[in-house]
Structure 1
Amino acid sequence: MNNLSRMVSGASNRRNFRRTRVITACAVCLFGLAAVYFTAQWWRDRAEQQLESKAAETLAVQAEALSGILDKYRLLPPLLSREESIIALFDDPDRDMSEAARRKAIEIAGRSGAKEVAFLHTDGRVLATAGGLFTGNREEHVRLLEAVRQGRLGRQAISLDSEQRAYAFAFGVRQDNVLIGAIAVYVDFDPVEATWSLSTNPIFITDPTGTVFLTNQPLWRLQHLDTLMSEARTPGHYLVGGKVLHSDLTRHLPLLDWQLHVLSDERPLVTAAWTGGIIAALVSLLVGALAFVVVMRREGQLLRMRRDRAASLRLERLVRERTKALSDTNVSLSREIDERRQTEEQLRKTQAELVQAAKLAALGQMSAAISHEFNQPLAAIRTYSDNAHRFLDKGNTGTVSDNLTRISGLVDRMAQLSQSLLSFSRKPGTTVKAIPIAPVLDEALMLVLPRARKAGVKVETKIEGGPHRVLGGQIRLSQVFVNLINNGIDAIAGAGTENGQVTLTVCEDGDAVVVRVEDNGPGIPPERRDSIFEPFFTTKDVGAGIGIGLSIASSIVADFGGSIAVGESDSGGACFAVRLRAADASDIAAE
């Protein structure tokens, strides 16, 4: 009876345990499936955020890089259109200037790095080009010249095929406010695409028609976006070339009316989802195993001690194996996270180095001009300082105070001169007002006379009539005449001319005031007169100058609506005629 009751009780217990195991197994399966789904989704969302963040950084960096390149070339045609050598190409329509224009175009293209430079007649005919690219399409010239005739900067994206693409900037060449021609500069996009090729993400630009104009995917060039991309199974996913891409981030470039796109690969998202799902599955298995351990222990306690001990050993061994597998997986994941963090840190360092390199390049360009323009004020400051020491020893405090005041004034003008040079390097332009020309010349003479006396050169000023007032800025005009007088002193000293003399003559010529700076040095050969106002052109020995002074002077005078012409003086030396607009009664009253 007891055996029968024990058998019945054992059968009932086994049924209860089977029911408990079934319920526990179902609960663990449901928990595991939910955990796998939500964990995989969470890991995928995190990976998607990181992917979009990296793509957004790439989008921002490449948009700024493209804007920087276009800004560089956007300023080139207006600056070149002011050069006398370029105006001379269109000055006489009866002369064949095609060969001279072609040499000039090759020179500009070589210096600026442009893909092509072209000189165009007002009717769209090509005068000359550097390489003969992009000039066969007359329609593109008509569209560029339409903006040029309106006094605007013409701009147009041009493509002959997938290998010959450029963006053209065109500006009118004018003489006496009459349009006589145009200069077009074509921007080379090969360096941009070469930079994009370093990115693993597809990057491309589409024009308003949806055509891919620039990309790091060679087969996509000049293809329409609709023919390349088709929607995949979910919104935001695209099937391109048999590969699923994700997160089409776009930035509008309003200046060009272009769209900059960055696509990300779908595979990291799938990998992240699989990783999260595997981890959740392992955790669920661990939870299920623990649940079954509890059930089996209870069952083993009611059955027999041996089975309980054997079951416990088997379960503990199973837990150790599963825990080891989970630990190995966690170590692998930690190693992968560390590698990604190091990669991101290296990317940030590289970006910082690129920014610093750009800053050093700009500082190097400015340092040459500042060093050239500050030598004379520094010499004057030194002279005044030495004199102040001598007068102080003699007790002449009045003269010491005057010298210190002059030093303070020179320092202020040096600061304003630095501001002026920085403005010239970026974008010409300054405040124009009516000023007397005599104080301007006095300030210039104050800076150059010590150096002239040391070189044995006499400087004279002749003012015919007056007082003369011109439209301009006192500090920048003083800088112009300092450059011109110093050039005359250098020419006389370099040639060893005896009784060297620089003469400044001021006179009126209609509605203009002309200041002639003449010397009795060796003069400037006629074949070099067309090039002396170009940046970095110099006839001095190595180390004696960098050839930027006359270029700066020409730009300053042009900003004030004037001009500088070079010729020969009566004594055979050089003569620079600075022509400035005379101030009328309304300009003087506005002061």
Structure 2
Amino acid sequence: MTNRGNDSRSARSPGESALRADGQRASRRRTFIGLIALVLIAALALVTYKHVLETSLGQLSRTSRQRLDFLTAVTGQTLEKYESMPYVLSQQGSLIDLLEHPEDGRRAQSVNDYLKRVQEKTKPLVVYLLDHRGRALASSNSSEPRSFVGNDYSFRPYFIGAMQGRAGRFYGVGTTTTEPGYFLSYPLYKQDADPSQKREAAPVPIGVVVVKISLGDLERAWSDGPDEVALADADGVVFLSSNSMWRYRTLGPLAPDVQKTLLQTRQYGDAALARLPMRASQPLWGSAVPSAAHTGLVYVAGNSGTSPLLMQTSEVGPLSWKLLTFSNTEATFAGARNVAIATGSASALVALLTYTLWLRRRRLLERQAARVQLQRINDELEMRIADRTQVLVDANANMERKLSELSEAEGMLRATQDQAIQAGKLAVLGQMSAGIAHEIAQPLTAMRILSENAHKLLSAQELGEAADNMIEIGSLCRKAGSIVGQLKGFAQKSTEAFEPVLVERVVADAVALVRREGENAGIEFDVLPPVRPIWVLGNDVRLEQVLINLLRNAFDAMKDSPRKRICVRFTLDARHVLLRVRDTGTGIATPVLNRLFEPFFSTKAPGAGLGLGLAISAAIVQGMRGELRAENHSEGGAVFTLILPLAPSDRDEETT
């Protein structure tokens, strides 16, 4: 049978291996195709992202450039608005007259009033007149607490330039008012001097007229626009910006001579002129791929958002100032990402649909091939089933034969066990015969004497005493009948049926049968009845046989003991009763303890026993689903413990 099973497994292996190999190859092929599809979709999404982003950045760049051109024109117009005002003021004779008579208070007040009127009509911040040493002689704010009159401005570039005979232009923070402004200046000459006429030496200016204007309106206008706007001087110092955090920051490092000049002229007061935290964005697609849209993308620290800003510059004004715009690209990058994601998702959907259609067609082909393969496998399977069925039929027939033999053996064993149990009981009866004969002989002798006395009493007409003798004779007859009944019940062959048995009554009957023999040997019985009636599920006759065997073994164990006593105790747990029989003998040796319940093992002298008593007792207890244990007591002697299951009704009562 084993060879046939191995042959069928060997026949099945090649087909299964081929199917498994085909499945593995198909799985690897699908995985490879899926990876290629993912790479292509990712590449398509990346190309789309690049194209859309470059297109959007180009559009944003054109829009920002148009806005920058407009801001450049507005800024230039603002600067040119007051460009000619210093020249016009330089032609006023009252200003030249004051420069020629600087100590005349009346002339100074007249010029102050005139400059005040000019300032009110043209709206610059302040207009003032400097002498050839740079000291202010008159000012439109002469009546204000922070008047320019009397202050020295000779260190200012606009004064130095004007004294050199040219128009001065300068942006800086006022040293008197601390207000930033755009300074325009022009030199003044004596009335008889005409700088247009050719002379051997150029005329020397006697003073400078200065107009300071505010560019704050430009900042406020820039703040309302969508872009960040900044205006930097020729050295790269931002002095106007829609972002107040950028003001007085530099676009790059300043040269030492520039720093020295700014310190001398105090152009930006006490500002630290730290560098603006700005860095150029890395190329979008790597340095190997040029991108026009990438030009001007910068990151500025503190700017909200994660995308760079698009920076564009334009030169404005006569001082080569740089006007810069920073356009937000968050929406541009987000739009490119969304288009790329949509393109990738659409491509993935198309690929998935294509793969689904291909897979469906492939499944149809595979089903056709599978049906052919399945038919072949079914044919092979039917052959294997027929082989296996025959194997199982043969195995079942063999098993039925063995079960029949086993059943016959069990019947023989059970019959042999019953015969051994019955033989054990008869052996015990033979061993107890002397004591039983003595128990029955005493009542018979007494009855004989009492009957003879009764006959004499009846002859003497002593009817009362004769009646007492008859009553005593009846009592002795009942006692003898009880002994005979116990012997009859013990000697009869018990049945296999189990029923509730009252344990203490079985113990009492067993003790009664051996009590006379034990008392003749000087043995004391100590039987402590249980606190309540205990019922077990078993056979009373066989249980009584076990107890008699244990008691008689205790007699033999205490034959040479100075004190001979047998104790019987009851213990209950949730499901069992533990019946312990203890003697005061010499105990059980350890080698004997391990073999105590083996059949034909005995420690008695040859001919005194067959060694079947404890083996039969253990078998009887196991048949009642119990257990028989043996051990030595700590105070000496042996203890045999019967563990018997409680009857269902007694168990329920105990649980309650």
TM-score under structure 2 length normalisation: 0.42
> Rg bigger for which structure?
2
TM-score, normalised to structure 1, is 0.46
Q: More relative contact order in 1 or in 2 (CA 8 Å, sep 6+)?
A: 1
